[in-house]
Each structure stands twice: as structure tokens, then as C-alpha cells.
Amino acid sequence: MLSVRLHYSYAHPSLKFSSYRSIRIGKILINDDHVIYAKLPSDVNRRRLLVAYPVITTGSTVMTGLEVLLKDYQCKQSNIILITLFSTPDGLQHICELYPDITIVISEINTVAPNHFGQKYFGTD
């Protein structure tokens, strides 16, 4: 089971700055490209979003999560920043073609995705 975690911003719980009070965290759980669970703040469509997903191979799971944000919650592509550690060129190309206004931050593009990373990240190894 894969999880797309949607974070508007991240602050360590030990930080007690007043500027972090407006931060909200939402989650979308996706399995086999079907949404199992989605819990997002009611004002998600008015916020800037950081969508965090560790490894993009085909892009299908991330695209399912993005469709939920864009269609079900009426979020704007220009308000979404997708953050990923690794992606294949094909997965990245599919996302860019369908969502040209989304900002993508990525640490590495490689033809072979590190599948073991996802297992460690989700605790399924």
C-alpha cells in the first residue's frame, strides 16, 4: 500500500513559533491507483501545497493524488509543489505533460528507480 503525503509545510513539533500555527497537514492514501483515504483541511484549495512522495517510477500514484487535489478539492496547479527524492525520466515526463503548471523539486533523475528506498520509507522491507 502506498501513501501520498501532502504537507503544506513542515515544522518539527518541538518548534513553538507562532508563524507555524497556520500550517495544516493532509493525507491521501492510494493503493493500486485507487484512493483509499483522503483527509485534507477544508480550505486546501486556497493554500500552497507541498506534495511529498519519495520515489516516482511511472508517476501513476502521484498523478492519482494530484487528480484528487485538482478535481475533488479544486486546487490550482500553480499552488502545488511536488517534492521527490528520485524519479525516472518517464515518470517525470508523464507528470510534466499532464500538469505543466506544477513546480517539481527533485534530487535525482535516473533510469532505474531505487525500489528498496520505498520499502524502507514505508516500512515494508
pLDDT in tens, the chain (125 residues): 334 444 434 444 554 545 566 778 889 999 888 999 999 999 999 999 999 998 899 999 999 999 999 999 999 999 999 999 999 999 999 999 999 999 999 999 999 888 776 666 667 76
- In this structure, the strands spanning 80-87 and 55-56 are parallel
Only one residue has cell 528498496, namely 116
Residue that is written with C-alpha cell 535516473 in the block: 110
Q: What is the DSSP letter of 88?
A: -
pTM of the model: 0.77
Q: Give residue 9's domain range.
A: 2-122
Q: Integer distance in angstroms from the first to the last C-alpha of the chain?
A: 12
Domains held by the chain: number: 1
Structure confidence at residue 80 (pLDDT): 95
**CATH, residue 102:** 3.40.50.2020
Assign residue 33 a region (left: φ > 0; alpha: ψ between -120 and 50; beta: otherwise): left
